[in-house]
Amino acid sequence: MSKVESKAASSAGAPPQPGPHTEAADDDAQVGARLSAVRERMAGHDINVYLVPSADEHQNEYLPAHKQRRQAISGFTGSAGDVAVTPIEAHLFVDSRYHVQADLEVDPALIRVHKFGQAGEQELTEWLTAHEAEHGPLQVGYDPFLMSVRTVERLAGALQAEGSRLVPVTGNLVDAVWAERPAGPSRPIYALPDALTGEPVADKLARVRSAMAEAGADALVLTKLDEVAWLTNLRGGDVPYNPVFEAYLIVEPQRAICFTDDPLPQGVPGALEGQVAFAPYDALPDAMRGLVAGGRTVWLDPAGTTQGLQLLAQDARLVSRSPNPVVAMKAVKNPVEITVSRDAHLKAGAAKVRSFSQLAARLREGQRVSEADYADLLYEEYAREEGFSELSFTTIAAFGANGAIVHYGTPDARQELQPGEMLLVDSGVQILGATTDDTRTIAIGAPDAHQRERFTSVLRGHIRLALQIFPEGTTGQMLDALARSPLWNEGLDYGHGTGHGVGAYLNVHEGPQSISSRGTVPLEPGMIVSNEPGYYRTGWGGIRLENLYVVEEALGLPSHPGGKRWLRFSPLTAIPFDRTLVDWPRLTREEFQWLRDYHAWVEEQLAPRLDEPHRLWLHEACATPPAP
């Protein structure tokens, strides 16, 4: 899933397809009542603006239902968009991905939507400056546990009048008035065996403590849910698509404490005895104050630190290195994680091949198949695989022109797949200790020359990057243009990064590596990255071709003149590219060879996992014309 579009996909707090997380949308009456109740409380706090951001206490991509406060106070379900409530108005600020969706979801009688990016429309900071100019000094209340330190600095910069200030308000005002608030964490935490994680908690803690000693830190505070899950080898079910649980973790030289209210089956604390102790979620502030009172040096990663945590630690000696040591450790997968991931990708690949094979059969038989039908079919095939847990994000099944909509999230039951256009399928699963993510674009019926031309350009970009060997020290920023090169030469481009990191049975978007203009981190052996160039044209459709690869050392080459190791991308994803969309003569010899070898590998890996009809479909899908 492309990094820009991920935010869009996460907009579906209520994915209407088979899956474990569904909930009802809030209606306008509820929103109106909550806005009134918040305003009453604002008066009690002497504030004339109250901010409700999208993010929660853990600054993660996906939020549990009971933390979706911005949705509760506005009705807007998009992943990004902040609300500002004043005594008589309410404002929602959304970027271009959500201009249409916000209008559909928000009652204009209650909330004014600011579509920034459009002429004359303001961002939140601009609105604050303008509102202050009009109304005089502002007392802007906010929940400090929902805002990063950086965001608070940015907002403070928008307030310029003498007497204006940001007021951290204790206790979230939306929570206080949210009568229908979903229940909090209720799914039990479970432990992953070392056979899936490849590294016992004791060893992970030892590595983290060694990094802490080097940085001179007495305590490391982790707030991101995937970091807590990785370090404790625990998983949960509090958030859709990510098997994480709501928790903070404090690591000290002699102990580690996990703050969570999730149910803990007896075996879990037992397995971690002597390594990790447990405490209630709300005990974190006192623990932070204890560290400060004890004169400890506290390590807070600026990227994961909210203003609330910063305030709790304000009298402590601080280590503020970015990022914290878990980020780099988690990004480099160990041999066990890679083995588990390879197997999971073959399962996900087999399921996707079966879904394509069955789709072809249904269309051949003249059945009506909608986007939603296909997404259901795919879900069923995924669910057949042993170890399947859930999707790793809302499946994007976008037909025809829908493929060009950057934030196309919910497969449409009314959108029928018909010959002459393409279907873009971007999906992934959480399965047996691993996370998958892949995108294929397939022709429905016989493709035309233009579709084949564009598809081939995107595929050439994918292959150029996939076959690239590079020396260690190379960053994603330096590789991004390889995937864009054939497109750029035709005056084409895509508005998202080429690749992102992926977790091991964790988040489908994981840092610090990135193959994009922002990818300043060198790629290292063991890192998993996506390779997903694309092409989109409004009204016509979209193409995206995504595999996951694991970076590994390339052996058997001459020594690098600078003594560096050579690295390469080893494929995890095993799914054929739609050969009917490939304009084979346009491939260079190197590109042709890569595609031929890749298809041969896909067939070899998947055939033993498939029944006869699907195996035949695969064999045909993997066929390659003779070399040019």
| DSSP assignment of 134-169 | HH-S-EEEE-GGGSBHHHHHHHHHH--STT-EEEE-
Least distance (Å) from a second copy to the CB of residue 128?
26
Residue among 138 and 487 whose Cβ is closer to a second copy: 487
Q: How many residues does the chain have?
A: 628
By three-state DSSP, how is residue 539 classified? coil
| Binding interface with a second copy (CB under 8 A) | 464, 467-471, 474-475, 477-482, 485, 488-495, 517, 536, 554, 557-562, 566, 588-590
Residue among 298 and 527 whose Cβ is closer to a second copy: 527
Residue among 539 and 562 whose Cβ is closer to a second copy: 562
- Run of H or E residues at 488: helix 476-488
Least distance (Å) from a second copy to the CB of residue 57?
34
Task: Encode 444-454: b = buried (16+ Cβ within 10 Å), e = exposed.
Answer: beebeeebbeb
Least distance (Å) from a second copy to the CB of residue 99?
17
Residue among 311 and 481 whose Cβ is closer to a second copy: 481
Residue among 364 and 589 whose Cβ is closer to a second copy: 589
Closest by CA to 437, choosing from 424, 423, 450, 426, is 426
Least distance (Å) from a second copy to the CB of residue 492?
6
Least distance (Å) from a second copy to the CB of residue 397?
23
Number of Cβ atoms within 10 Å of the Cβ of 623: 12
The tokens for 395 are: 């499946």
Closest by CA to 528, choosing from 496, 566, 500, 568, is 500
The tokens for 406 are: 């950057």
Residue among 255 and 560 whose Cβ is closer to a second copy: 560
Least distance (Å) from a second copy to the CB of residue 485?
6
In angstroms, the Cα distances linking 76 to 2, 54, 93, 113, 223 are 23, 10, 11, 10, 26
| DSSP assignment of 324-387 | -HHHHHHHB--HHHHHHHHHHHHHHHHHHHHHHHHHHHHHHTT---BHHHHHHHHHHHHHHSTT
Residue 282 CA to residue 287 CA, distance in Å, equals 10
Residue among 263 and 495 whose Cβ is closer to a second copy: 495
Q: Please answer whether residues 79 and 68 qualify as being in contact, where contact means their C-beta atoms are separated by less than 8 angstroms.
A: no
Least distance (Å) from a second copy to the CB of residue 219?
29
Least distance (Å) from a second copy to the CB of residue 597?
14
Residue among 260 and 498 whose Cβ is closer to a second copy: 498
